[in-house]
Amino acid sequence: MSVAETTETRPVAEAEPDRPGVATARRGWRARLAAVAAVLGGTALIAAHASLYGRWLIDDAAITFAYSRNVADGFGPVLQPGAAPVEGYSNPTWMVLLALGKLVGLFDHGTLFGVNDQILFPKALALACCAGVLVLFYFGAKTLTRRPALVTFVAGAVLAAIPSFVIWCFSGLENSFYALTIAALAVLILRAVQSGRLLDTQVAAGTGLIAVLAALTRPDGIIYAGAYPIVVLLFLKRELLGRSVRAVVVSVAGFAVPYGAYVVFRWFEFGRLVPNTAVAKGQEAPDLDDLARPGEIVSYVGWLAVAVAVACLVMLLVRPSRLRTGLIALLVPFGLTVVAYIVLEYDWMGQLRFATPVWTLGAFGGAIVVVEALAAARLRGRIVLACLLAVALVSSLSGLYTQGTTYRANVKTAFCIVAERDAQTVNGFADILKLPDTAQVGLIDLGGTSLGSRIRVLDLAGLGDKPIADYLHDSDLQGLRDYVFTQAKPELITFIGSWITTLQFDQDPRFDRDYVTIFANQGIGNSTIDSRNRVSYHVRRDLVDPAKLAELQAYARKTLTPVLELNKTAGLRGCANVQPGTKAA
């Protein structure tokens, strides 16, 4: 039998794989499967790292939880029902997402799969945002490389390896959604540049609207309104000057109109042009010393890893290509993430909380340049680059592992610890004293207590109180104490850590004159335990006689002792759903 005869008698089913349409379809399915695998694989790595921090959420996140509860319940953007409107949150978009979760029964109702939904829902939402970031990475990488799935997985693995990214995305704060908005803006600009559609009206308007989401997720997000105009300027052509100007105007308007509307709402609702939190924290203009702050980011991930990525970037930029054009476009939003980090004040929560956008775009860009540099290099160059990457990887992972384990052993103020330590105790005191719901407790850790206290909270740290925010902004501690002793006159006061000294209450004779101590747990010299357990509770003298004080003290010893003992070793634990009036069993 001849070759021709063999070919002619071969079954059609066996010949089909050689048809161009079938081969293209198979490649398409493989690409889609690779994309799904890359996104799911990267997301799984991020989730695995997040699981190491247990059910821990930062207490500040619960401040937003309280606002989202009251918005969903129809009380408006207030910390507690009936309280004066104060913008004690700086993340309106995240607050709205949580409120929507409550409205559909997924948040602040009880449990989901046996876990407090105040813990599970924010973490699940964060994981969805991280998956969304990787999906965006894939569609962005498709315009730059023939290996978009590989780039996506590498970027996901890098993000999963960075404790700073994982800790703050799964802290209950807005970081995960912030990362999603920054990734969306960068990928939209990147795809527009690569497709020649940068000046399209839809693209211009889209960048403005995404920048609004960023600005309403964190105040520093306002800087990303400049990303599109800068990119247009970089690629400006004389013959397209008029069209370029119109596109920039559309983008700026797309940002300014909705953002301006929110500022107007803020003024009429809260009486401020900026969040109350920004006033309390006293954000100032950066100085020359702040220009060195990117060094913190480089040191965190390792100088060698950054050096290798920069070398790969330079190698790809020296050659004119579509890849170079895309990388230049991507560098603009990345540069803005670094500028925003420089501008922001140092954050007490640690682990470079404000660096989340830097990690997001840095991981994406780093994955692209490393993968493409390896593909472009010759054999000898690949071997050298692979060796450098291996050394950098080992060095970086060692440092990152130390960062993660150190934070895990000493997590900052946990939501559940505050709820069990302060909210439950305050409610017990209020019941013994028969205080009305309009009574006040002055405190420092606001989140868990605002969710669980049945009486009003007076935020001595200023985030949820306008007068105190103003005093702190002006560094007027005398004025702050005058306000507390002569106007607010809270029935109860509780301090944590060194705040009684920081606010100089221990030096003010009026404190001993007007208040008597119910319980005080002194520090033992261990910073981890002291940050959770060095607490004191005080009651206004005119509310107690010796018998009532003794009853309060007995209640405190009974309820606080087991909680404080648990705090020594269980900082990552969860807690039952926190509702107003929650008390220890």
Spatial CB neighbours of 382, under 8 Å, sequence gap ≥ 6:
374
Using pLDDT thresholds of 50, 70 and 90, give the confidence band for residue 21. Answer: low
DSSP assignment of 249-283, as one string? HHHHHHHHHHHHHHHHHHHHHHS-SS-HHHHHHT-
Distance of CA 545 to CAs 266, 365, 536, Å?
45, 66, 19
Alpha-carbon gap, residue 166 to 211, rounded angstroms: 23
**Residue 58 per-residue DSSP state:** B
Give the predicted TM-score (pTM) of the model.
0.93
Spatial CB neighbours of 266, under 8 Å, sequence gap ≥ 6:
87, 272, 273, 274, 275
Mean pLDDT across the chain: 92
Alpha-carbon gap, residue 98 to 117, rounded angstroms: 11
Give the rounded percent of residues in the chain with a pLDDT score beyond 70: 95
Predicted confidence at residue 490, as pLDDT, reads 98
Domain ranges of the chain: 1-51, 157-412, 415-567
**How many CB atoms sit inside 10 A of residue 521's CB?**
18
Using pLDDT thresholds of 50, 70 and 90, give the confidence band for residue 581. Answer: confident
Instruction: List, for residues 512-558, the tens digit of each pLDDT value.
Output: 999 999 999 988 888 888 889 999 999 999 999 999 999 999 999 99
Least-confidence region, from 202-216, 277-291, 467-481:
277-291
Would you say residue 17 has pLDDT above 50?
A: no
Give the dihedral of Cα atoms 525, 56, 403, 355; nearest 10 deg: -120
Would you say residue 405 has pLDDT above 60?
A: yes
Would you say residue 5 has pLDDT above 50?
A: no
Across the strands, what pairs with 457? 441
Using pLDDT thresholds of 50, 70 and 90, give the confidence band for residue 4. Answer: very low
The residue type found at 500 is: I
Would you say residue 15 has pLDDT above 60?
A: no
Bridge-based pairing state of the strands 535-540 and 492-496: antiparallel
The three-class DSSP label of residue 537 is strand
Predicted confidence at residue 348, as pLDDT, reads 80
Using pLDDT thresholds of 50, 70 and 90, give the confidence band for residue 13. Answer: very low
Which among 360, 372, 354, 371 has a CA at the least distance from the CA of 136?
Answer: 360
DSSP assignment of 411-447, as one string? -SSBHHHHIIIIIHHHHHHHHHHT--TT-EEEES--H
Predicted confidence at residue 345, as pLDDT, reads 77
Instruction: List, for residues 118-157, the tens digit of each pLDDT value.
Output: 999 999 999 999 999 999 999 999 999 999 999 999 999 9
Alpha-carbon gap, residue 323 to 150, rounded angstroms: 16
Least-confidence region, from 38-42, 363-367, 496-500, 536-540:
496-500
Predicted confidence at residue 137, as pLDDT, reads 98
Predicted confidence at residue 31, as pLDDT, reads 86
Predicted confidence at residue 129, as pLDDT, reads 98
Predicted confidence at residue 22, as pLDDT, reads 63
Q: Which helix (H) or strand (E) holds 111?
A: strand 111-112
- Location of structure tokens 């060796």: 387
Instruction: List, for residues 208-265, the tens digit of each pLDDT value.
Output: 999 999 999 999 999 999 999 999 999 999 899 999 999 999 999 999 999 999 999 9
Would you say residue 443 has pLDDT above 90?
A: yes
Higher-scoring residue by pLDDT: 531, 335? 335
Which among 126, 138, 117, 127 has a CA at the least distance from the CA of 32?
Answer: 138
Predicted confidence at residue 289, as pLDDT, reads 77
Of how many residues is the chain composed? 585
